[in-house]
A = this chain, B = another copy of it.
Amino acid sequence: MSFQISIGPNLRKSAFFNATVQSGVQGFSVYNHMLIPGHFGDPDAEYDRLLNGVAMWDVAAQRQVELTGPDAGRLAQYLTPRNLTKMRDGQGRYVPLCDHDGWLINDPVLLKLAEDRYWLSVADSDIHLWAAAIGRERGWNVRVDEPDVSPLAIQGPKAVDVAAVLFGERVRTMRHFAFEETTLAGIPLILARSGWSKQGGFELYLMDSARGSDLWSMVAEAGAPFGIGPGAPNDIERLESGLISYGADMRWQGARANPFEMGLGAMVDLEAGHDFVGRAALERIAAEGPARRRVGLVLDGRPTPPGHPVPLAVGDAVVGRVCEFAFSRRLDRTIGVGLVQADLLDNAEGLVTMLEAGAVPTRIAPLPFGKT
């Protein structure tokens, strides 16, 4: 099944929209009310560039929720169970966000630009509303905004070579999640060593959407000797690497999960003295132990992905959820991620993925799937 996307003024266009059209984008998805490229017509080539070369992705839909003002740090800390005490300017950090009952509502990267200025680089939910409601209802002196910032990712083992051409050799020693404010031919941006893959790379946070096509062209040109090409966040690589996809793996609406279930328990700092949203609920869950656990899955054969989560069962009993699966050419098997009842981890005999076409024998595998 193939359907058109209806492009109207209710969906925002990325700063790189025109550039991706000129680069041959074939499909879009929608993320944070913005069009985001889905693919450029050659999935195998796009995957290979990510694994062996370098790919460039329009990820402007990864919007920034900016917190500014004297209480910006206070609000940032209150929004996440992760301890931010030692965070320094120029550092990013992966910060799960929970609601008051401990359910995950987003899993952004937090960038600390200054003591009084933070960005939450968010997955697909309206965290600006969440953060603004909390900041204002608490009477804190902090402003919540969406600045004109559009990330462009370069990902893959050769991404560092492209970044070195553009920004100089110093980029080779940047640490993961480190970032710096800089310019490229007068284009203001933040250069961060980050990105939604495990192949390494950088994100260029463009700070002037009028320059989207210019930045896209400069990156394409600098990357040409390394075989750069357009692509998009890659579902197969993310399954292989065990990356979390908020919206697919869990979502507040209908597919809730807490950080302990998702394997993010180490980021929940219950020893710290500070308060944060969901603390009481997370203390209770920590004491009881999570009801489900995130797992890797291997499915028999090569079933067609249904495009939505499906039940994981033993016999007729639903014991979990397969969030997403896909065939990995590299691993030569069908892999997925899901949630399964914690009490089944030691004895998961007879697991099946429930597809419309029938039940597919399934086994649990450690995450990430790795290279073999």
Contact = CB atoms under 8 A, between A and B. Distances in A.
Interface of A: 1-13, 21, 25-31, 33, 38-39, 63, 99-100, 105, 124-130, 132-134, 136-138, 146, 235, 245, 247-248, 251-254, 307-309, 323-324
A277 to B, nearest CB: 8
Given A100-B132, A127-B129, A308-B13, A4 B6 contact: no
Contacts of A33: 124-125, 247, 251, 253
Contacts of A251: 12, 33
Contacts of A38: 4-6
Nearest to A131: B133
B132 A134 contact: no
B9 A324 contact: yes
A75 to B, nearest CB: 12
Main secondary structure of the interface of A (DSSP, over half): loop
A220 B119 CA distance: 49
Nearest to A30: B30
Contacts of A2: 4
A276 to B, nearest CB: 13
A9 B10 CA distance: 22
Given A6-B28, A133-B134, 8 more contacts: A3-B28, A4-B4, A6-B27, A8-B324, A9-B307, A11-B247, A12-B251, A63-B253
Contacts of A10: 29, 31, 124, 245, 247-248
Nearest to A29: B6
B307 A128 contact: no
A100 B145 CA distance: 13
A153 to B, nearest CB: 17
Nearest to A123: B10
A336 to B, nearest CB: 10
A197 B26 CA distance: 32
A3 B2 CA distance: 10
A27 B4 contact: yes
A10, A11, A129, A245 — which one has the most chain B CB atoms within 10 A of its CB? Answer: A10
Nearest to A326: B8
**Most chain-B Cβ atoms within 10 A of its Cβ — which of A3, A21, A134?**
A3
Contact of A7 (B7, B307, B323): B307
Q: Across chains A and B, which 8 residue pairs bring their CB atoms closest together, nearest first? A: A6-B38, A30-B30, A126-B126, A133-B133, A10-B247, A4-B27, A5-B5, A9-B248
A46 B303 CA distance: 37
A30 B252 CA distance: 17
